[in-house]
């Protein structure tokens, strides 16, 4: 009888270990299951080249996760001849792994983690962390099923955008969000920092942007009431100091996340114009917007505006070391440019046909400035109207306007494909009648998962211009960190798999099974995901 029980326990152990093989999201692109288990205990050592400081950073995430899971801190030793009961991290030179790929070999006597770069080591650590038994209480021995993973992402741009203008999110939340993006191997945080209802980034050369532009006198409480808008009567605002931004940029870099700041132009400029009326296209002063929707306030296209924008961008470039800056470009309705005779005269003098061409001229000028400082610009797909500025990347968002996507691809521009239909996480996701008020739409988990970022019209060669995809969280109806998390998770897990895992390896049923494990991590990390608060549709 004892023998039967022992065999039964062995089978159960093997089965539960085998089930771990499917636990990683986004799913790795090559997984081979092997016999046996590796056991992490107090004596397990971590080994790496101790002179490599950045390796230390990635490895520390692994050590911390083990500490959470087991209560003990694994000893670290320099690369040595101790080969058993060790987790060994190595930088290698394997072409096929590229910049972000990694190899993770879990064998009965050791775990080997190798990658060409720190980025790859970090992603291997994220995979390892997801393999830990988050479903159970901290334990002294952690068993990992043996396997060999050789993994690298499908797309280089795996992003998430957060609108911090409509509502301001504190730095503590931004850091938690960055942790959670890293968990999903998201490498780009697109930070929407300026818009009509609030300017959120300290600019030393123009202090009124945050003295004035970061605060609105009140906020609309229910914008569905048509012309009879109701307001809360409460001053609202906030901004990030440059010191805070530097800390966050470093925090993100430690997690191999690049921050792409968005400084909107020529539209969505009401908060800036409220701060410095000489930037505007009318003589009538305005205030920071208190309600949502597209506003008519556009920067004027005169030299003073470019003086302003260049000074602002110079500070932005110093703060954010990434390759790209996002210059907005969306929803710039041209009424104020049409109504202003001096602007009409400018169009004539420049030999342009219309206001669309003026916008294109405006963006081109900014692009040239950015280029002179070694930066690239990316803009929403409206920057294709009136001629796409050379070397600009396009962020395609309007599902109902396919033309800019076609034009961007044909014009050889790099493209991030983030259409409303699949990537707008401000849309409802559960039963709209049960959910708190959202902006509209309906985007379920399975719909996000079904997204294919490469448009069907692309040739193999053109497909290379698709840099990737991202989720967008506009916050008209999202005023708290908890609700932002509810809207993001687990839909972000689905999008992460779209961005990382090759199309032929995707499997929605497998994803939902693996998601059950990821939800345990969400619980451990205190993420207020949809499904915890309300049943999630799929």
Q: What angle do CA 339, 345, 346 make, to 5 degrees?
A: 105
**The one among 287, 330, 435, 532 contacting ligand ACM by CB under 6 A:** 330
Token digits of residue 201: 């980034």
CB of 331 to ligand ACM, least distance (A): 5
* Closer to ligand ACM by Cβ: residue 208 or 330: 330
Task: State whether the Cα torsion 496-502-506-510 is positive or negative.
Answer: negative
CB of 126 to ligand ACM, least distance (A): 29
CB of 330 to ligand ACM, least distance (A): 4
Q: Which one of 112, 195, 264, 485 is the catalytic residue?
A: 195
CB of 98 to ligand ACM, least distance (A): 30
Q: Which residue has the tokens 């003086």?
A: 307
**What DSSP element (H or E) covers 421?**
helix 420-423
CB of 326 to ligand ACM, least distance (A): 10
Return d(Cα 323, Cα 476) in angstroms, integer: 29
* Closer to ligand ACM by Cβ: residue 115 or 473: 473
Q: Looking at the DSSP assignment, which residues form a beta bridge with residue 38?
A: 144
Return d(Cα 170, Cα 164) in angstroms, integer: 9
* Closer to ligand ACM by Cβ: residue 445 or 473: 473
Residue 387: how many other CB atoms lie within 10 Å = 17
Q: Which residue has the tokens 């509502």?
A: 167
Near ligand ACM in 463-482, by CB under 6 A:
none
CB of 474 to ligand ACM, least distance (A): 6
Q: Looking at the DSSP assignment, which residues form a beta bridge with residue 163?
A: 192
Q: Say how many residues touch ligand ACM, by CB under 6 A.
A: 4
| Cβ atoms of 404 and 353 closer than 8 Å | no
| Closest C-alpha among 296, 322, 318, 299 to residue 309 | 299
Three-class SS of residue 143? strand
**The one among 247, 254, 331, 482 contacting ligand ACM by CB under 6 A:** 331
Q: Provide the Cα torsion 77, 80, 86, 87; round to 10°.
A: 70
* Closer to ligand ACM by Cβ: residue 13 or 294: 294
* Closer to ligand ACM by Cβ: residue 120 or 379: 379
* Closer to ligand ACM by Cβ: residue 135 or 331: 331
| Closest C-alpha among 104, 110, 156 to residue 126 | 104
* Closer to ligand ACM by Cβ: residue 331 or 391: 331
Near ligand ACM in 177-216, by CB under 6 A:
none
CB of 484 to ligand ACM, least distance (A): 17
Near ligand ACM in 387-406, by CB under 6 A:
397
Q: Looking at the DSSP assignment, which residues form a beta bridge with residue 46?
A: 76, 87
**The one among 191, 240, 320, 380 contacting ligand ACM by CB under 6 A:** 380
CB of 424 to ligand ACM, least distance (A): 7
| Cβ atoms of 496 and 185 closer than 8 Å | yes
Residue 460: how many other CB atoms lie within 10 Å = 7
| Cβ atoms of 233 and 262 closer than 8 Å | no
* Closer to ligand ACM by Cβ: residue 35 or 335: 335
Is 357 tagged catalytic?
no
CB of 380 to ligand ACM, least distance (A): 5
Is 190 tagged catalytic?
no
| Residue 323 CB partners (closer than 8 Å, separation 6+) | 258, 375, 376
Is 330 tagged catalytic?
no
Token digits of residue 232: 């809360």
| Cβ atoms of 236 and 216 closer than 8 Å | yes
Task: State whether the Cα torsion 475-477-480-481 is positive or negative.
Answer: negative
Q: Which one of 184, 190, 192, 268 is the catalytic residue?
A: 268
Q: Which one of 315, 330, 331, 435 is the catalytic residue?
A: 331
| Cβ atoms of 256 and 321 closer than 8 Å | no
> Which stretches of 19-70 are assigned E, i.e. beta strand?
31-40, 45-48
| Closest C-alpha among 401, 481, 399, 406 to residue 443 | 399
Residue nearest to ligand ACM (CB): 330
* Closer to ligand ACM by Cβ: residue 19 or 294: 294
Residues labelled catalytic: 195, 268, 331
Residues forming the site for ligand ACM (CB under 6 A)? 330-331, 380, 397
């Amino acid at each position: 009888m004892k023998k039967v029980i022992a065999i039964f326990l062995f089978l159960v152990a093997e089965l539960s270990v085998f089930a771990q093989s499917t636990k990683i999201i986004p799913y790795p692109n090559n997984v081979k299951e092997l016999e046996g288990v590796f056991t992490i205990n107090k004596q397990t050592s971590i080994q790496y080249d101790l002179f490599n400081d950045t390796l230390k950073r990635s490895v520390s995430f692994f050590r911390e996760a083990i500490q959470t899971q087991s209560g003990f801190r694994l000893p670290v030793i320099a690369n040595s001849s101790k080969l058993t009961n060790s987790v060994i991290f190595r930088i290698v030179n394997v072409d096929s792994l590229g910049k972000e790929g990694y190899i993770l070999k879990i064998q009965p006597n050791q775990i080997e983690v190798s990658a060409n770069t720190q980025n790859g080591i970090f992603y291997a650590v994220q995979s390892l962390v997801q393999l830990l038994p988050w479903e159970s209480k901290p334990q002294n021995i952690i068993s990992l099923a043996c396997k060999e993973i050789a993994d690298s992402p499908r797309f280089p741009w795996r992003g998430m955008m957060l609108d911090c203008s409509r509502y301001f999110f504190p730095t503590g939340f931004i850091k938690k969000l960055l942790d959670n993006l890293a968990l999903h191997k998201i490498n780009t945080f697109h930070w929407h920092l300026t818009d009509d209802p609030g300017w959120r980034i300290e600019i030393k050369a123009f202090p009124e942007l945050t003295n004035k532009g970061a605060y609105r006198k009140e906020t609309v409480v229910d914008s569905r009431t048509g012309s009879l808008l109701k307001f809360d009567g409460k001053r609202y605002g906030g901004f990030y100091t440059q010191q805070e931004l530097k800390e966050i940029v470093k925090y993100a870099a430690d997690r191999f996340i690049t921050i792409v700041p968005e400084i909107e132009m020529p539209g969505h400029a009401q908060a800036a114009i409220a701060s410095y009326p000489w930037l505007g296209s009318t003589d009538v002063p305005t205030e920071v917007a208190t309600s949502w929707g597209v506003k008519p306030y556009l920067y004027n296209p005169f030299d003073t505006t470019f003086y302003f924008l260049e000074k602002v961008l110079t500070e932005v470039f110093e703060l954010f070391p990434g390759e790209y800056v996002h210059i907005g470009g969306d929803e710039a309705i041209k009424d104020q440019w049409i109504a202003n005779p001096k602007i009409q005269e400018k169009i004539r003098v420049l030999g342009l046909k219309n206001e669309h061409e003026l916008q294109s001229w405006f963006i081109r000028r900014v692009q040239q400035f950015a280029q002179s400082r070694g930066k690239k610009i990316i803009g929403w797909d409206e920057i294709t109207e009136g001629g796409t500025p050379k070397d600009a990347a396009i962020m395609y968002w309007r599902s109902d306007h396919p033309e800019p996507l076609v034009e961007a691809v044909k014009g050889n521009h790099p493209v991030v494909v983030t259409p409303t239909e699949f990537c707008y996480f401000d849309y409802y996701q559960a039963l709209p009648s049960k959910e708190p008020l959202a902006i509209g739409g309906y985007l379920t988990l399975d719909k996000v998962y079904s997204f294919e970022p490469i448009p069907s019209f692309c040739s193999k060669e053109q497909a290379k211009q698709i840099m990737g995809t991202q989720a967008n969280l506009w916050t008209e109806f999202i005023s708290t960190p908890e609700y932002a998390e509810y809207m993001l998770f687990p839909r972000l897990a689905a999008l992460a798999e779209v961005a990382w895992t090759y199309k032929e390896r995707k499997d929605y049923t497998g994803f939902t099974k693996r998601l059950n494990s990821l939800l345990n991590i969400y619980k451990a990390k205190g993420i207020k995901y949809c499904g915890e608060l309300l049943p999630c549709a799929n």
